[in-house]
Amino acid sequence: MTRRRISILGSTGSIGRNALEVVRRNADLFSVAVLASHSNVTLLREQIATYHPELVAVYDEKAAAALRDSVPGCAVLSGPAGLIEAAATPVDTALCAVVGAVGLEPLLAAIDAGNRVAVANKEPLVMAGDYIMERARLNNVAVLPVDSEHNAIFQCLQGNALSDVDRIYLTASGGPFYKSTPEALRNITPEQAMRHPTWDMGAKISVDSATLMNKGLEIIEALCLFRLRSEQIEVVIHPQSVIHSMVAFTDGSIIAQLGVTDMKAPIAFALTYPERLPAPEMRLDVTALAGLTFDKPDCEAFPCLALARAAADAGGCAPAVLNGANEEAVTAFCAGRIRFLDIAAVVEHALEQCAVSTVCTLDGALAADSVARACATSIIKTMEQ
Ligand SMILES: NC(=O)c1ccc[n+]([C@@H]2O[C@H](COP(=O)([O-])OP(=O)(O)OC[C@H]3O[C@@H](n4cnc5c(N)ncnc54)[C@H](OP(=O)(O)O)[C@@H]3O)[C@@H](O)[C@H]2O)c1
């Protein structure tokens, strides 16, 4: 395997740390050229000392200033422009693993620079997926999914024609509140929502998993990555999280991808595709797999899933509204300003109130994002009273 030069945007987060662990275990195969984070310079300083990047970007200006004088030999950029410049630094693969819509412009910058992109940061794909995929096509850049479900689907599709796909089964653990009634969901705390039963992840995606919005975002992500129709994507609750997703073909065959619940596996696959990294520690003991179960999602108790499906079906910039409103609602929930069930109410309100373009352009997505955030912010204020 040839040595790969990589950048990691969001290196201090859950995905970023897992990616650096893959690098550490395979030090002869990777060189880390770029790291980027928002403000966690304590961890970033340690990462710089271990992986010796030539450049880092710290979004927060003050945090960047605090780091600048203490890392000789490493350029420290800052602010939105610094993150974009970091993304555009030439590498073999840019791992996009910041959280939220803020990753959209860096992702496009990486693509325009001709960097192959491994995408964990799903929010930009939700906001403007078709636009991003077209820009990747024009730049002849591969977009490799890191999200475990999409990585699984990507693997199941190898050697198969998309025209032979009947449907995709997107598996979901069900989150920490699987089988809970709406009454029980009323008093969920942020701490409870962040405790995912099978995956260890950052705060925002953990809350999204608890509301099932994460699965809704993944429907939209799958639509653009694999060019499918909405009715071809089915969500299946699979609490054991052993099957990461399945593809059903027109001849009735179903191909599934199984593995341990460890994001290092899809990250490594995306970084080394089409080759595979030996990882004996990732071996799944299939003889220990007793009772894999499957269930239908409860869209009444978890309305975010239906809201996401509706936004996907509306198309255009509706998914950008869904995403922007959800980001605001999750932030407010984590800050204790609104309740768990208010998250769906905020998103529903934004989808009803925001008139947006029916065509997905970059400007349209950015405008929809900002209209949705303003709308969400104002309804959140009324909920706090
Ligand atoms: N975690 C998973 O297992 C998983 C699985 C599938 C998909 N994903 C997706 O991957 C993305 C990252 O998730 P995560 O769980 O790793 O999140 P996380 O643990 O919260 O980490 C987020 C990372 O992004 C950085 N960041 C946030 N805002 C930034 C900004 N404005 N500029 C630069 N860096 C910024 C953070 O830096 P600081 O540390 O300095 O704040 C941190 O490094 C999300 O879109 C998520 O949906 C995650």
Q: Quick one: tokens of 354? A: 């925001």
Ligand 1 atom nearest to CA at 122: 45
- 324 located within any domain: no
Report the predicted TM-score, pTM, of the whole model to 2 decimal places.
0.97
Q: Which residue is it, tokens 């300083």?
A: 45
**Is 125 among the domain residues?**
yes
Residue 65 lies in a domain: yes
Residue 360 lies in a domain: no
What beta strand segments (E) does 232-381 contain? 233-237, 243-249, 254-258
Q: What are 282's strand-pairing partners? A: none
Residue-level pLDDT, tens digit, the chain, 385 residues: 899 999 999 999 999 999 999 999 999 999 999 999 999 999 999 999 999 999 999 999 999 999 998 999 999 999 999 999 999 999 999 999 999 999 999 999 999 999 999 999 999 999 999 999 999 999 999 999 999 999 999 999 999 999 999 999 999 999 999 999 888 899 999 999 998 888 789 999 999 999 999 999 999 999 999 999 999 999 999 999 999 999 999 999 999 999 999 999 999 999 999 999 999 999 999 998 989 999 999 999 999 999 999 999 999 999 999 999 999 999 999 999 999 999 999 999 999 999 888 888 999 999 999 999 999 999 999 998 6
Q: Which two tokens stand for residue 222?
A: 């799958």
**What's the CATH code of the domain at 135?**
3.40.50.720
> Would residue 376 count as lying in a domain?
no
Any domain includes 250: no
DSSP state of 341: T
User: Per DSSP, what are the bridge partners of residue 170?
Assistant: 235
Q: Which residue has the tokens 């999409």?
A: 150
Q: Which two tokens stand for residue 105?
A: 């412009």
Nearest Cα residue to 105 out of 118, 78, 123: 123
Q: Is residue 36 in a domain?
A: yes
Count CB neighbours of 243 within 10 A.
19
- Decide if 215 is inside a domain: no
Q: Is 202 in the pocket of ligand 1 (CB under 6 A)?
A: yes
Counting the structural domains of the chain, the total is 1
Ligand 1 centroid distance, CA of 116 (Å):
19
What is the distance between the alpha carbons of residues 195 and 75, in angstroms, rounded to a whole number?
Answer: 37
CA of 97 to the centre of ligand 1 (A): 5
Q: Is the CB of 240 under 6 A from ligand 1?
A: no
The sign of the torsion formed by the CA atoms of 372, 375, 381, 383 equals negative
- The torsion angles phi and psi of 113, rounded to 5 degrees, stand at -80, -5
The whole domain housing 67 covers 4-145
Q: What is the DSSP string of 219-235?
A: HHHHHHHHT--GGGEEE
